[in-house]
């Protein structure tokens, strides 16, 4: 059984609220419970965050905030194994993934924003204006105020801290709501915050559901000045409607249906290995995962055969996060089996032990589906990739750019000129060439079309979470 999940409001822990069950995705058994925040508790969290804005926190210098971020990072590192345990218990993801990606990246999120803060200077202009008038102009960055951070279940701590770190770096106060499926590491983070000498109310955490529950109440709350959200595109639209009346700014990282392009001049072995990683990391439950691969016709058969063989040999992968999500993925596979061909996987693995009660889906390679098929067009968010051939570079680009999403894409080619021609022509926020998910936290991260609004990462996040103000002094 896991340690108790509690809210953290105004610097104190709170276990109130109707309990909801937490389920172990590996076995499908109940593994604990968490309290759902009441509307009154959400109000208290927002009030505490509002009050903290005018407390001692308001006078913390950037250097003090940078030291705080390092203390939080130290606190996560000091309880590293507990964080790994909690992330694995909630998501069912392999321990290796949580201990090499999720938790180290959460630490890096705090450290990278701490380092950025120290090197950041405000701009000023003390030269005459373009029309010759003497003036000193300088910029002051102010916090937005109370920020709601709403995060999904796939990379619970990584994505939560990716927003909390820059929000605190810029002097905001935060009310965070993780997915009800994965509250464990957020709760540990609150414990770390409690030991990090943070003024009460600067970081608050409430648990509970999204729609018509804590998530929705937060976004509708008149005391919330901005919403930073990662999740489904449909939820993004709902949140946009919720904040529209008060014109609160939003930062949205939403869904994707990411394409891979494999050209005949690519190192095929590397392209296969890279696509196995990009399609099946965390069983496809990463927003950046590749779900459609277009392969130049002369190498299509060889690529398809090698990818299917690789998928069949994969071991050590994890389950879907919930029974509902497993059923959704299997629904797509049912339609795909009827309308196309399954080259690998397509079903539920059998282990002959208690994992047979869990939410597993085999790594699956599909082909032969039309481009308007739901399994090719809609985000599945599972271990499923569809392969289709192309004949020309123009056709490859048109296929990759079709559809409502535009988060990420990967290009596999041995031709440097082609790489520089194709990558910038993709309608996405992030294009990788001969690699996947190689991240530098200073670079812009986000999507176009239905994949998001705004960019996170480095200065982009610091800019979102602060309000630049111009002061002009006549000289
Ligand atoms: P959801 O949109 O279902 O949920 C995300 C968060 O929003 C959860 O905390 C959820 O709470 C909450 N929520 C749900 N409905 C509302 C509402 N009406 N008002 C306020 N909050 C709400 O996404 P998933 O958790 O299913 O995450 C998977 C999705 O996230 C995929 O589409 C994936 O592509 C996307 N994603 C995008 C990333 C990016 O960077 N672009 C990165 C990672 C994931 P609860 O879960 O408790 O219902």
What mean pLDDT comes out for the span 335-357?
98
146 contacts: CB under 8 Å, gap ≥ 6? 46, 49, 50, 53, 172, 173, 174, 175, 223, 224, 225, 226
Average pLDDT over residues 276-281: 98
- Asked if residue 4 has pLDDT above 70, the reply is yes
What domains appear along the chain, each with residue ranges and CATH number? 7-254+451-474 (3.40.605.10), 258-440 (3.40.309.10)
Residue 16: pLDDT band with limits 50, 70, 90: very high
54 Cα to the center of ligand 1, angstroms? 31
Is 435 a residue whose pLDDT tops 60?
Answer: yes
Q: What is the mean pLDDT of residues 212-236?
A: 98
Atom of ligand 1 nearest to the CA of 209: 47
Helix (H, G, I), strand (E, B), or coil: what is residue 432? Answer: strand
Among protein residues, the one whose CA lies closest to atom 9 of ligand 1: 179
Q: Which residue, judged by its Cα, is nearest atom 8 of ligand 1?
A: 179
Tokens of 118: 């120290």
pLDDT digits (tens, 9 = 90+) for 374-413: 999 999 999 999 999 999 999 999 999 999 999 999 999 9
pLDDT > 70: what percent of the chain? 100
* CA dihedral for 223, 226, 230, 233, sign (positive or negative): positive
For ligand 1, atom 30, name the residue with the nearest CA: 231
Percent of the chain with pLDDT over 90: 97
CA dist 334 and 330 (Å) reads 6
| Atom of ligand 1 at shortest range from CA of 242 | 19
In angstroms, rounded to a whole number, what is the distance separating the alpha carbons of residues 452 and 149?
15
- The Cα angle at residue 39 between residues 33 and 45, in degrees rounded to 5: 85
Which atom from ligand 1 is nearest to the alpha carbon of 234? 2
The arithmetic mean of pLDDT across residues 323-348, rounded, is 98
Q: From the alpha carbon of 211, which atom of ligand 1 is closest?
A: 18
Asked if 289 and 260 count as a contact pair (C-beta separation under 8 A), the reply is: no
Please list the active-site residues: 253
**Between the CA of residue 253 and those of 73, 237, 322, what are the distances in Å?**
23, 12, 22
- As given in the structure block, the two tokens for residue 122 are 């405000």
Q: Is residue 161 pLDDT above 90, yes or no? A: yes
Torsion on CA atoms 390, 393, 394, 398, rounded to nearest 10: 60
Q: CB neighbours of 53 closer than 8 A, spacing ≥ 6?
A: 143, 145, 146, 172, 173
Give the other-Cβ count within 10 Å of 5's Cβ: 25
Q: Is the pTM of this model over 0.95?
A: yes
Protein residue closest via CA to atom 11 of ligand 1: 210
Average pLDDT over residues 273-277: 98
Write down the mean pLDDT value for the chain: 97
Q: Pick from 46, 54, 109: which is nearest to 77 by CA?
A: 109
pLDDT of residue 119: 82
How is residue 302 written in tokens?
Answer: 């060889």
H helices of 314-373, in order, are 323-339
Average pLDDT over residues 283-302: 98
Pocket (CB within 6 angstroms of ligand 1): 150-154, 159, 177-181, 209-211, 215-216, 219, 230-232, 235, 238-239, 253-256, 287, 379, 381, 407, 447, 451-452
Q: What is the mean pLDDT of residues 33-61?
A: 98
Tell me: the pLDDT tens digits for 81-121? 999 999 999 999 999 999 999 999 999 999 999 999 988 88
Alpha helices in 58-102 (DSSP H): 62-78, 80-91, 95-97
């Amino acid at each position: 059984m896991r340690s108790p999940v509690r809210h953290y409001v105004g610097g104190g822990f709170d276990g109130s609220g109707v309990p909801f069950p937490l389920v172990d995705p590996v076995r499908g058994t109940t593994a604990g419970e968490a309290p759902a925040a009441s509307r009154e508790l959400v109000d208290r969290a927002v009030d505490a965050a509002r009050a903290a804005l005018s407390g001692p926190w308001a006078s913390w210098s950037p250097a003090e905030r940078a030291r705080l971020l390092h203390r939080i990072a130290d606190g996560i590192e000091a309880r590293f194994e507990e964080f790994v345990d909690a992330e694995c218990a909630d998501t069912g993801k392999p321990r290796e993934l949580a201990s090499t990606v999720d938790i180290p990246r959460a630490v890096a999120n705090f450290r990278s924003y701490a380092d950025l803060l120290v090197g950041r200077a405000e701009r000023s202009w003390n030269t005459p204006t373009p029309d010759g008038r003497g003036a000193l102009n300088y910029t002051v960055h102010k916090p937005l105020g109370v920020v709601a951070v709403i995060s999904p279940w796939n990379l619970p701590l990584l994505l939560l801290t990716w927003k909390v770190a820059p929000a605190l770096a810029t002097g905001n106060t935060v009310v965070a709501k993780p997915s009800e499926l994965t509250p464990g590491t957020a709760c540990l983070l609150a414990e770390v915050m409690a030991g990090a000498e943070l003024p009460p109310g600067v970081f608050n955490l409430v648990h509970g559901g999204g729609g018509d529950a804590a998530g929705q109440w937060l976004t509708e709350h008149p005391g919330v000045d901005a919403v930073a959200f990662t999740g489904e595109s449909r939820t993004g639209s709902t949140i946009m409607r919720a904040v529209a009346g008060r014109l609160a700014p939003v930062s949205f990282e939403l869904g994707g249906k990411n394409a891979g392009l494999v050209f005949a001049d690519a190192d095929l072995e590397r392209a296969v290995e890279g696509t196995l990683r990009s399609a099946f990391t965390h069983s496809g439950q990463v927003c950046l995962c590749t779900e459609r691969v277009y392969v130049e016709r002369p190498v299509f058969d060889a690529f398809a055969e090698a990818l299917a063989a690789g998928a069949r040999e994969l071991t050590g992968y994890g389950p879907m996060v919930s029974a509902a999500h497993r059923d959704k993925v299997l629904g797509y596979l049912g339609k795909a089996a009827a309308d196309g061909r399954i080259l690998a996987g397509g079903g539920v693995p059998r282990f002959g032990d208690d994992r047979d009660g869990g939410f597993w889906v085999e790594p699956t390679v599909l082909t032969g589906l039309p481009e308007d098929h739901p399994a090719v067009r809609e985000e599945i968010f599972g271990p499923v990739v569809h392969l289709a051939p192309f004949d020309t570079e123009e056709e490859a680009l048109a296929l990759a750019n079709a559809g409502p999403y535009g988060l990420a894409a990967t290009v596999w080619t041995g031709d440097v000129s082609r790489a520089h021609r194709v990558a910038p022509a993709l309608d996405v926020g992030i294009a990788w060439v001969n690699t996947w998910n190689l991240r530098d936290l200073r670079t812009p991260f986000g999507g176009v079309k239905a994949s998001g609004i705004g960019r996170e990462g480095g200065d982009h996040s610091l800019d979102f979470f602060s309000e630049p103000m111009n002061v002009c002094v006549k000289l």
